[in-house]
Structures are given as structure tokens and as C-alpha cells.
Amino acid sequence: MTQPFGARLQHAMREHAPLCAGIDPHRRLVESWGLTYDVAGLERFALTCVEAFAGRVAAVKPQAAFFEVFGSRGIAVLERVLTELREAGTLTILDAKRGDIGSTMTAYAEAYLGKDAVAPPDALTVSPYLGYESLRPAIDLAEQTGRGLFVLALTSNPEGASVQHATRDGEYVAGSMVRGAGADNAGARSRGELGSIGLVIGATVGTAVHDLGLDLVGAATPVLAPGFGAQGGTVDSISETFGSARDQVLVASSREILAAGPEPSRLVGQLGRVSDSLRR
């Protein structure tokens, strides 16, 4: 990579709109497109998304679980998706939420971020709830290979607050994630760029960023905000939730766009409408 992930993401968000289109081939969506819920249907669904999204959006986020459910054949489809999007020059964020310790975390990092990875995404979602520093193998490897991470910080599921809003030594757990990412993004911040260690903060968490006193601007973190559109996030709620950090937010939308399928032209049209709403 000639540029770190954060710089490439910042450029892509300016060139297009701050939108990440999801590829979530779960059974209901695949069948709603008139496809069979098997490997053939998965492949048709996923490659139709690639055709519609490539070159038209800042980033694309395949959800690994919906490919893994079909075993090695599903993973082969996922690898093709990642490869074709990379060849088209479109950033990819693999939503796999990996998290572990020691040699196991190192192996996860090598699988998705390493120089010998089969079909590496540009960034990977990771879970820090064994402690932020448990992610160190992935953080260090991402820096070496020019890739990025999105660390779960504030999720929109009701159970999330019981962990993420908890405190230790006077600091919120979510705040420790912001602090950790900020320290790892210090070099990018000094260059006036977004860092490559981002955070996942749901588009529907309401006032939590403000209530917990999270300084996203000072941490120079890109924010991946899932939940836009069908899950309740709006342009106004994004602005209210993230305030002065709004320009760092990559809004993720899946169902809002995918419901327009199966024709690629309809997906392109819906992608354009969502993108336009985020430019206003």
C-alpha cells in the first residue's frame, strides 16, 4: 500500500459520499431477490452487488458470517468479492468482528491483514472486549501493511451499554477504546489525516457519544456508523450523534440499499439516492 488506510478512506469519502454499502446476503434478502438460498444464489447476490457498487461508493462492507455459513464454498465467494472490489479500486471493510489474545489474535491478523493473505480487505472490524491491547497484533500488522481496523466501541444493541458504558478507574469502557485508538492514530493526527484505527459506533446510539464525553475529533478516528436507513439512522440523527466529528463518519447502509435489488440498475439508483442524502 502506498498510503495508509486512513488517508485512502478520507480521500474516498471526499470523492464519493461518506457512505459504506453493505453486502449482507442473509436468507430473507437472498430469497426476496428470487434467488435460491444456496451457494449459487449467494454468488449471484454478491456479484450483483459488486457490479452495482464498484467505483460508485467510498467503501463496501461484506458481512463475513453470511458467506461462512456455506463453508469453504461461501468463503471462496467472499474472496472473489473482495478481490473484484479491490481490482475496481473500491475500498473494502470486512465485517468479521474478530477478537482474541496472543498467538490466536496474531493468526487472525495474518489471515485478513497479512502480506500473504489470500484476499485481504482494506480494513477489518475487530472486537476489543478482551481489552484494547489484546488487538495489538492486528494493530501492528495493519500499520505494516497499510490496512486498517474498526474497533467496536458503542454498538446499538440494547445489551451493549451494560459493557460499553461501564466504568473502571473513572473511565468508561467505550472511552478506553477511543483513547487507545487515539494513541495509535497520533502520527496521522500530526499530519492532519484520519488514522487507520477506526471505531464502530452505531448510527442509532443517540446521545451516548456526548453523554460519555468521547472526543472523536481529538482521537483522529474514522467512525463506521452502521444502522442508517432501514434500522432507524437518519441524516439528522447522524449529525446530532456525532456533532463536530461528523466529517469523520462513514455511514453504513445495507438493507436500505439491498432492498432495491435484484436488478443492478435499481441498486445503483438507490445507492445514488442514499449518497445524495449524505452530501446535503
Distance CA(4)–CA(24), nearest Å, equals 27
Distance in angstroms (rounded) separating the CA atoms of residues 280 and 9: 20
Cα 123 from Cα 12, distance rounded (Å): 14
Is 97 among the catalytic positions? Answer: yes
CA distance 258 to 271: 9
Which residue, 250, 175, 249, is CA-closest to 211?
Answer: 175
Q: Are 228 and 256 in contact (CB under 8 A)?
A: yes
Question: Look-up: residue for cell 493526527?
Answer: 189
State the catalytic residue, choosing from 97, 136, 165, 266.
97
- Any idea what the Cα angle at residue 39 is, between residues 37 and 44, rounded to 5°? 85
**What residues act catalytically?**
97
